[in-house]
């Protein structure tokens, strides 16, 4: 008797996991998401039930695959597509801040290793691959209209043959659709499917914000103009207003299960504490079916729900990610991230202290180099994070915990010389929220941040303390959201060590030693 999960909870990947793409290989499902300027790039997940997902690797895990220096946090890697054909996995994506542009990497094992990039030299963003019945591969992408765009976001969806042996686009490219609505902006994220002899083109429109919407068109021929569904957009939350649990619904990919069901993965956001989206764009799941040759998303309801009846698939048991990382190995867990560069460039595992050691880097979190920052995604509205830190700061040096949205909007709680400090960087302006005089004579001191909705509180504890001691007063975190900060990413939270540039040239490199990082949610 099969063990079938009855219900699922959205999002299936909480936190900063945007732009999902999915493919099925027999009874196995694989999914990838965007990472922008974070390293490693493009996490890949495996599931057998579409509900429980296990990260099995990161596709772009080498410098040769992912040069990110100088990229803003919301630049870098956009919207990957994952496809499988004849024993090979293909991941195609866009590096928007590097000459790589649109490129493909391949692997025979989804866990890797993946190849170095094959740059395609094509225009635009959001590339996708489609394999026709005869095995011919086609590239589908988004770019400005070839006849000239009338306004920003006046795009076309185009298709062109791709020679997989040479990894080159060949022949002419053909515009096949411009989106569903009159004066539509940002038709993008295209995926082509062939179903019952018809070619279907699934896209998003209106930008990845509150007006995000999903539309579809079809054609009997791949290189002919596509006909839009009269019911377009087939899925959106923009008509529901902003005071709803889920917003920004869009950027879908679809898959048919081995039992014949159809499901859609897509991105959306969960606002909290107002209309703020600190969690960024997350990956959700919803059912779909077909009527009169067109898809119906979440039949009878037409909205993206927080929970639903699960797919008719045997439950896939996934190991739970530990909330606490003790840094007792010589490798970071797969879900950990750095900015713009490999973790080996910015830290060492101190076996003597059994901890992670970060140098006080002059590459600051406010810059576009690789700072000494090791993080994980914020995945919950209410959470706590703590660490144990051994650090003897010199002049201009600081180390501790950081809640990071982007270069111009983040919070740092840590140890400076003779004091604990919470520093707010808001819209590029730095402000000290509070300072606490601090005798840092002990080897390790524990730091803790608690977040309840948009309010953040800081604590510390020495070995002589029974309980955590409040440091300062609660701080508002609503500026750590895309509504205020702009861009496309959600918050990450982690460990940092840095020094101001003036002090860096006059001192020897100093290290902050972190015994663990623990993330818990309420």
Position 448 scores a pLDDT of: 98
Integer CA distances (angstroms), 484 to 15, 263, 429, 433, 487, in order: 18, 33, 14, 19, 9
* pLDDT tens digits in sequence order for the chain, 522 residues long: 466 668 999 999 999 999 999 999 999 999 999 999 999 999 999 999 999 999 999 999 999 999 999 999 999 999 999 999 999 999 999 999 999 999 999 999 999 999 999 999 999 999 999 999 999 999 999 999 999 999 999 999 999 999 999 999 999 999 999 999 999 999 999 999 999 999 999 999 999 999 999 999 999 999 999 999 999 999 999 999 989 999 999 999 999 999 999 999 999 999 999 888 899 999 999 999 999 999 999 999 999 999 999 999 999 999 999 999 999 888 899 999 999 998 677 888 887 778 999 999 999 999 999 999 999 999 999 999 999 999 999 999 999 999 999 999 999 999 999 899 999 999 999 999 999 998 887 889 999 999 999 999 999 999 888 899 999 999 999 999 999 999 999 999 999 999 985 644 444 689 999 999 999 998
Of the residues 75, 188, 253, 282, only one is catalytic, namely: 188
Specify the residue for token string 């490129």: 103
**What DSSP element (H or E) covers 199?**
strand 198-205
Length of the chain: 522
Integer CA distances (angstroms), 388 to 198, 222, 514, in order: 59, 58, 6
Residue 222 tokens, joined: 């791949």
Note if 430 is an active site residue.
no
Adjacent-strand bridge partners of 359? 511
Position 275 scores a pLDDT of: 80
Note if 19 is an active site residue.
yes
Residue 53 CA to residue 475 CA, distance in Å, equals 34
Position 327 scores a pLDDT of: 94
DSSP E strands, 212-354 = 213-219, 227-228, 235-236, 247-256, 262-269, 282-291, 294-297, 307-309, 324-325, 338-339, 348-350
Residue 438 CA to residue 419 CA, distance in Å, equals 4
Position 463 scores a pLDDT of: 84
End-to-end alpha-carbon separation of the chain, Å?
Answer: 35
Question: Which one-letter DSSP state was computed for residue 293?
Answer: T
Position 479 scores a pLDDT of: 97
Integer CA distances (angstroms), 423 to 372, 399, 400, 420, 429, in order: 17, 11, 11, 10, 10
Of the residues 19, 205, 407, 498, only one is catalytic, namely: 19
Alpha helices per DSSP H over 139-240: none
Nearest residue to 253 via CA among 10, 31, 493: 31
Position 505 scores a pLDDT of: 46
What burial letters (b/e) apply to 55-75, b meaning 16+ CB within 10 Å? bebbbbbeeebbbbeebbbbb
- Contact indicator for 368, 340 with CB cutoff of 8 Å: yes
Nearest residue to 490 via CA among 502, 478, 475, 480: 480
Specify the residue for token string 């493919």: 23
**What DSSP element (H or E) covers 413?**
strand 409-416
Residue 125 CA to residue 115 CA, distance in Å, equals 21
């Amino acid at each position: 008797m099969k063990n079938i999960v009855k219900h699922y909870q959205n999002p299936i990947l909480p936190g900063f996991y945007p732009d999902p793409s999915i493919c099925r290989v027999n009874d196995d499902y694989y999914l990838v998401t965007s990472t922008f300027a974070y390293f490693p790039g493009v996490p890949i997940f495996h599931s057998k039930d579409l509900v429980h997902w296990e990260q099995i690797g990161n596709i772009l895990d080498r410098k040769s695959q992912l040069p990110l220096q100088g990229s803003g946090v919301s630049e870098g890697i956009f919207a990957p597509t994952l496809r499988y054909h004849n024993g090979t996995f293909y991941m195609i994506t866009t590096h928007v801040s590097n000459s790589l542009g649109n490129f493909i990497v391949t692997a025979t094992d989804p866990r890797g290793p993946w190849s170095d990039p094959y740059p395609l030299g094509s225009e635009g963003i959001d590339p996708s691959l489609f394999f026709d019945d005869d095995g011919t591969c086609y590239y589908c992408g988004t770019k400005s209209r070839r006849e000239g765009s009338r306004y920003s976001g006046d795009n076309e969806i185009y298709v062109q043959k791709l020679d997989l042996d040479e990894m080159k686009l060949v022949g002419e490219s053909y515009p096949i659709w411009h989106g569903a609505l009159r004066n539509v902006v940002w038709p993008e994220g295209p995926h082509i499917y062939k179903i019952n002899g018809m070619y279907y083109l699934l896209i998003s429109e209106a930008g990845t914000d509150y007006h995000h919407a999903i539309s579809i068109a079809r054609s009997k021929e791949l290189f002919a103009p596509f006909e839009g569904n009269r019911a377009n957009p087939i899925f959106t939350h923009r008509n529901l207003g902003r005071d709803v649990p889920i917003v920004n619904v869009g950027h879908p990919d679809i898959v048919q299960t081995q039992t014949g069901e159809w499901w859609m993965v897509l991105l959306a956001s969960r606002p909290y504490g107002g209309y703020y989206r600190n969690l960024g764009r997350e990956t959700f799941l919803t059912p779909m079916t077909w009527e009169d040759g067109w898809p119906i998303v979440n039949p009878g309801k037409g909205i993206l729900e927080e929970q639903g009846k699960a797919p008719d698939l045997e439950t896939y048991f996934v190991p739970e990610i530990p909330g606490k990382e003790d840094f007792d190995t010589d490798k970071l867990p797969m879900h950990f991230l750095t900015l713009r560069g490999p973790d080996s460039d910015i830290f060492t595992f101190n076996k003597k202290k059994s901890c992670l050691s970060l140098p006080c880097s002059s590459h600051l979190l406010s810059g576009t180099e690789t700072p000494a920052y090791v993080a994980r995604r914020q995945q919950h509205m209410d959470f706590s994070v703590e660490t144990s830190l051994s650090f003897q700061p010199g002049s201009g040096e600081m180390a501790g915990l950081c809640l990071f949205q982007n270069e111009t909007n983040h919070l740092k709680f840590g140890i400076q010389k003779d004091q604990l400090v919470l520093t707010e960087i808001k819209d590029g302006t730095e402000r000290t929220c509070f300072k606490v005089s601090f005798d840092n004579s002990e080897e390790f001191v524990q730091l803790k941040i608690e977040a309840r909705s948009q309010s953040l509180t800081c604590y510390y504890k020495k070995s002589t303390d029974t309980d955590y001691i409040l440091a300062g007063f609660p701080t508002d975190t609503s500026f750590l959201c895309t509504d205020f900060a702009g861009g496309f990413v959600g918050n990450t939270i982690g460990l940092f060590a840095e020094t101001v540039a003036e002090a860096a040239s006059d001192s020897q490199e100093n290290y902050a030693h972190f015994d663990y990082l623990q993330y818990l949610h309420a």
